A and B are shown apart, each in its own frame.
Chain A
Amino acid sequence: MKRICADLHLRPNSKDPEHVSQIISKASRLGYRLIALTFPSNLAEEEIRRLVDVSKEAKIDLASRVDLEPRTPRELIHGLRKFRRRFEIIAVVCESKNVARQAAKDRRVDLLNFPSLDFRSRFFDKAEAELASNGLASLEIDMKPLLTLEGPARIRLLSNLRREVAIAKKSHVPIVISSGVSDRVLMRKPKELSALASLFDLNEASAIEAISKNPVAIVKRNRDKLSSRFVAPGIRIVRRGNDC
Chain B
Amino acid sequence: MKSVRRRYLALEIDSDELFDSKELMDVVWGAVLKLYGEYGASRAGLTLIDYDMEKRFAVIRTVHTTVDMVRTALTSITKIGNKPVAIHVLRVSGTIRSLYKKVNK
Contact = CB atoms under 8 A, between A and B. Distances in A.
A195 B86 CA distance: 15
Contacts of A4: none
A199 interface: yes
Interface centre among A150, A187, A195 (most CB of B within 10 A): A195
A192 interface: yes
A183 B71 CA distance: 21
B68 A185 contact: no
Interface residues of B, number: 16
Interface of B: 14-15, 34-35, 68, 71-72, 74-76, 78, 84-86, 88-89
Contacts, number: 41
Contact of A192 (B34, B35, B75, B84): B75
B75 A186 contact: no
Contacts of A187: 86
Given A185-B14, A187-B86, A199-B35, A148 B78 contact: yes
Interface SS of chain B: helix, strand, loop or mixed? mixed
A147 B72 contact: no
Given A185-B15, A186-B86, A195 B78 contact: no
Contacts of A105: none
Contacts of B78: 147-148, 185-186
